[in-house]
Structures are given as structure tokens and as C-alpha cells.
Structure 1
Amino acid sequence: MTSQTADTRPPFVWIALPIVYVVWGSTYLGIHFVVQTMPPMTSAGIRFVIAAVLLAVVLVIKSGPGVLRVPWRRLGTTALVGVLLLTGGNGMVGVAEQHMSSGLAALLVASVPLWLVVFRWGTGDRPPVSTVAGVLVGFGGLALLTLTRGGGSGSPLGVGIILAAALSWSIGSFLSARMPMPANPFTASVYEMAAGGIALLALGFGRGEDLRLSEVSRTSWIALAYLIVFGSLVAFTSYVWLLGNAPISLVGTYAYVNPAVAVLLGVAFAGEHATWMILLGGLVIILGVGLVVSTERRPRTAVTAPTGTPPPPRGRRRSPRGSRSTPEPPPRRTGVR
């Protein structure tokens, strides 16, 4: 028997998996504290630019400057994916969390794997009936949370922004598996974070965001540092390592554990209220995503690391050279959350 079993997996699996569960789930709470005294787009731009520089330095020290060399065409597509994932996706989460609870935001973002199945269907890739059933269940929960705004835990504006963010993240995840990208996932992440961060800074300054350092609280600084180091670097590297050392069905469970972690942390540390509507709608979404993930990943026995920054999982996986793709079920991270 050649497949991995629980007793033959590297011990680090049981360290890396909780890191991905907790850290990525906690990024919504981190964003909540950052945007209390820092403008959302500017702070997110600072986060990703710094994370890109730190990751680039680590890669150069480990592998030499050649590791960052990427053909112009792939550099352009990587930048596009970075803007969709991190500017339109992650950056908008910060804007939305000014108008809603972090737990509700996480639950609505959990719909990303469902959107990826819809996009697959639109390109002629017909998923199995059980996957379609999971999508219908998940969208039922999404509709419940959207129409009720989580029982009053968010404004219509916040709900609209977070849904647009989830859609942007889904498009970026979908395209990243179908466009020429750097072969090294860490190199791709450097350029995705750099492009997304620069675009966020440009949008922040363009919309008149004013970062007054004297008014930024200590809590916001700590939360921003946490997002840079743990959300964008530690959890991401743990995720990529897991993809090469653990069954994909096990790794994919983060897609429906993260929202639960986000809700619990929001209640425990941000004084948020887990209304019955949030609990019910969130449970329905998580059940739908769980059905999609378990159904789609069941037959697979090997994986390669996706590129980008911790996002919800891809609709397809790139080959080692990044120029072609083979079918893969949805749900990355959030690459970087």
C-alpha cells in the first residue's frame, strides 16, 4: 500500500496543519484590529509590500538572486493574479470589516470554493452531482447570511463589499491555474504580494486615505506585524509544505475550519456576537464547502504546491513548469490572508 496513512506522515504535519487552521482563521481578527486606527487599503498595502520584501530576501539568501528571475510574460500574469487576489480580494476585506464583524466576513469569504466550481462549469468542466449539491447547499447558506446580514452583524455596504472581495479572490484563484506563472510558488508569491501591495497603496492614496502615525494604536501595530509575519509568511510556508507532505483531502479541511476559527476568535477577543443567523448560515456554508472539498479531492493521491499567496484552493493545479494545468478541485488559502 503506497498511500500515506496517519502513522507514516511526517510528524510536522500535526504542527503545520494547526498553524494553517488557526493563523489563517485569525487573520480576520487581525484585520479587525488593524483597521481600527489605520486606513484599510494603505495598511494592507504596507503589509503585502513588506511581506514580499522579506520573502524575497529569504529566497535570495537560500537559493541566490536567480530564484527571482521570471520571464516578462509570466511576471505580468503573476502581477494580474496578485491584484485580483490581494487588492480586490484581501484588500477589500479590510474595507468591509469597517462595516461588519470579522466572523461574518470570514463566513462570506468561505464561499470562494463554491464560486470556483461555478467557474469550472462555465468553462465546460462538469463537476460530479455531489459537488453540485455541495455548491447549492453552500450558496443557500450564503444567501441566508446575505439577506439577513448575519442577523444584523453587518451593514448592506459591508456585505456587498465582502461578496465582491470573494468574487475577485475566486477569479484570481481560477485564472492563476490557467495562466503562465513562475514555477516556484514562493517566487510567484513575492511578485503577487508586491503587485497587490503596490496597487493597494495606490488605491489608498487615490481615495484620500490618510495614515497618521501618531494616531495609530499599539494594538493596530501589533496586529499588522502579526499579519505580516504569521499570516503572510509562517502560515503560507506551512501550507506549501503540507501540500507536498500530507494528503490533499487533509490539507483541504482548512477551507471550512478557518471560518469557524474566525467566528470564535471574534467572539472571544473582539466582543462580536455570534447570532443564531450567523451560526445557522455559517454551518450551512461550511457543510456545502465540506461536501465540495471531500468530493473533489477524494480520488487524488499526489499534489504539487500552488502559487500565489495563502488563498482558497485552486480550481486547477499547474504543472511543475506552470504552463499547463491538470484538474484539481477548488479550495489556496487563502494564499496570503
Structure 2
Amino acid sequence: MKQRSNATAYLALVLVSVFWGTTYLAARIGVQHMHGISLAGIRQTAAGLLLTCFFLLRGYKIPDRSTLNKLFVIGTLMLCGSNGLMTWAMRYVPSGLGAIIGATVPIWITIFSFYLVARNKFSLKLILGILLGFVGVAGIFYDYLAELMKPEFRFGIILIMVACVFWALGSVLTAKWALDINPLFGAGFQMVFSGIEMLLISLMMGEHFAAASFTAELWGSLLYLIFFGSIIGYSSYIFALNRLPPSQVSVYAYINPVVALLLGWVWFRERLNWNMAIFSLVILVGVYLVNSSFNKVKSQKL
């Protein structure tokens, strides 16, 4: 039974690795017509209602208050704080670059895991991995020195970096709390909570939902993000996260940037050259060192 469960978890991880790489492009298309917070809010609310209604119709009961509170915190961090900011950033930053910076998430996950779960000292291998990861990001910015002079571009980069920290913290809390609830049902509540939060935030920011802005391209972006990004992608991520170690689940970040870079280059003719390829590899090597160091410590404790 455990082997079957692990096989399903690995399949879910494959879905996350592929589909989430494509959502950077879908988000970049969507933010050409709507503010990123609004886009993410509609996406998560719609996907969350579909998921929760599905389980409620099957006879599932609404979780207790303590569980709902934790789902609210996780949803706020991972979807409002992370997905919302990342989607907003796609207005100012190429989707491929956003995915590359997003590849540092496993580093943040491991850092938070050390403090909140493992409580171990930092090894030399871990420190080297962290340094390589951030050296890789700095190297990629060499191609964007001119863009860094633009306030909007810098703002987008800040949004992405903050989004990475939020996502990592939410991922570790998800694994630490290990809530006694169907992970997909729980993901639905997280989406509803975060979606409503983002819609309220967008209204407070003065955003309006004009019917004229809902073009065929925006509808395509929204539907893709709802079904492939949230319902399939996020649900698969939460499912895998509840059955596999956070550092192991984070391998999706090795694949996402490759998918996003290629799609961004094909669709928007975003930058793709040897410098980006080399420093992207440096980031992934750093992520590998961080993950392997953390896994080694965990295996020694077992």
C-alpha cells in the first residue's frame, strides 16, 4: 500500500514539474489584460470552489476550526503571498527569468526546514550550495544590467524574491503540521481563502473587473491557470508534499525553469543564451547540494 501511495506521489510530482513550468507563460499572457493580483484571485477562487464543492458533494465534512485556521495560514503564504506576488511580477519580468529565480525555492525550503523542523547546524556542503544558488542568480542578472536600472523591473524582481520566501515557508509548515485532512480537499480551502483575500486586495488597490478586458486571450490564460495550474498542479503539489519530504518534492524546481525558459523564448522571444544556461546550471547544482546535504542529515537521524 505504501509503495502504491509513493508511486502516486511521484506521479503527482511529475505533473507539478511539467504543468507549473507552463503557468509562468500563461500568467505572463494574462497580466497583459489584468492586474496580477486580480488574475491570481479569480484563478484561486474559481479553482478552490470547484475543488471544495466536489468533496462536499461527496459527503466530506467541513474541517474543524483549528484545521481551517492552519489551512488559512498556508493558503495565505503559498497562494496569496507567493502565487499572487509571482503573478503580479510577470507584468514586469520575463517569465523565464521569473522561473529561474523561482528555482531558488528549494534553498529557502531547506533553510526553513533546518530552523523549523530539523534544527541542525549548517554543514559546509549546505553553505556551498546556498552560495552557488545565489551566485547563479547574480550571474543571470548580468544579462539584465540595463533592465535593473528600470524601477518597474526591480520591483518585479523584489516581488519574485519575496514570493519565493513565502512559498518555502508555507511548504515547510504544510509538512510540519501534516493536517489530518484529504490533501486535495485542504488545497481547495487554501485556494478559496487566498482567492478571496486577493480579490479584496485588488479591490482595495482600485482594480476593476471590466467586461471588455475579458478577451479570448485572457479567458484562455484564466482557464489554463485554473485547471492546469491550480486544480491539477497545486493539488498534485500538496498531495506530494503530504507523502514525500519537502526537499524531495522541491525537485520540481529543477524542471520548471527549463520549461518556462523554452516557452518564453518561443512565445515572447524572451532572452535565451549561453550565459543564462550556464548560470541556471549553477543554480541547479547549488540546489542539488542543498537538498543532498539536508537529506543526509535526515537519514542520519533515522
TM-score > 0.5, shorter chain as reference: yes
Match of 1:144 in 2: 139
Correspondence for 1:56 among 52, 66, 76: 52
1:189 equivalent in structure 2: 187
* CA–CA separation in structure 2 for the residues paired with 1:146 and 1:118: 23
- Is the CA contact 1:149–1:159 (under 8 Å) kept in the aligned structure 2? no
1:147, 1:158 → 2: CA distance? 16
1:81 paired residue number: 74
Q: Distance in 2 between matches of 1:162 and 1:250?
A: 22
Aligned partners of 2:247, 2:105: CA distance in 1, in Å? 17
Unaligned runs of 5+ in 1: 302-326, 329-337
Structure with the largest fraction of helix: 2
Cα deviation digits, residues 187-213 of structure 1 (max 9, x gap): 221221111111110111111112222
Task: Indicate if the aligned counterparts of 1:87 and 1:197 stay in contact, CA closer than 8 A.
Answer: yes
Q: What aligned pairs does 1:299-314 form with structure 2 within 5 A after superposition?
A: none
Q: Give SS of 1:272's match.
A: coil
- In structure 1, how many angstroms separate the alpha carbons of the residues matched to 2:210 and 2:202? 13
**Percent of pairs identical after alignment?**
32
Equivalent position amino acid for 1:259 in 2: P
Contact 2:30–2:39 at 8 Å: present in 1 too? Answer: yes
Cα distance in 2 for residues equivalent to 1:224 and 1:159: 23
Q: Which whole-Å deviations, capped at 9, do the CAs of 1:113-145 have from their partners, x for residues lacking one?
A: 111222344453335443332222112212334
Give the structure, 1 or 2, with the largest relative contact order (CA under 8 Å, sep 6 or more).
Answer: 2
**Which amino acid in 2 is paired with 1:282?**
S
Q: Does the CA-based 8 Å contact 1:137-1:285 persist in structure 2?
A: yes
1:65 pairs with 2:63: no
1:212 aligns with 2:226: no
**TM-score normalised to the size of structure 1?**
0.75
Q: One-letter code of the match for 1:81?
A: I
Answer whether contact 1:56 1:187 (CA < 8 A) is retained. Answer: yes
Deviation of 1:249 after TM superposition, in Å, equals 8.6
Return the alpha-carbon distance in structure 2 between the equivalents of residues 16 and 118 of structure 1: 24
CA RMSD of aligned residues (A): 3.3
Q: Deviations over 1:200-255 (max 9, x none)?
A: 10111111112222123211211110111111112344456667899999755322
Distance 1:198 1:13, change over 3 A: closer
TM-score by length of 2: 0.83
Partner residue in 2 for 1:273: 271
AA matched with 2:63: V
Judging changes above 3 Å, is the alpha-carbon distance between structure 1 residues 184 and 108 closer, same or farther for their aligned structure 2 residues? same
Question: Aligned runs of 1:169-184 on 2, under 5 Å?
Answer: 169-179=167-177, 181-184=179-182
- Residue of structure 1 in register with 2:39 after alignment: 43
Alignment partner, residue 26 of structure 1: 22
Give 3-state SS (helix, strand or coil) of 1:65's partner. Answer: coil
Alignment correspondent of 2:96 = 103
Matched to 2:47, the amino acid is A
TM-fit CA distance, 1:23: 0.6
Secondary structure at the counterpart of residue 36 of structure 1: coil
2-structure distance, mates of 1:151, 1:172: 34
Q: Tell me, which stretches of 5 or more residues in structure 2 are unaligned?
A: none
Contact 2:72 2:193 in 1 (8 A): yes
The alignment covers a number of residue pairs equal to 293
Q: Distance in 2 between matches of 1:248 and 1:121?
A: 12
Matches of 1:151 and 1:274, distance apart in 2: 16
Contact conserved, 1:51 with 1:233, CA < 8 A, in 2?
yes
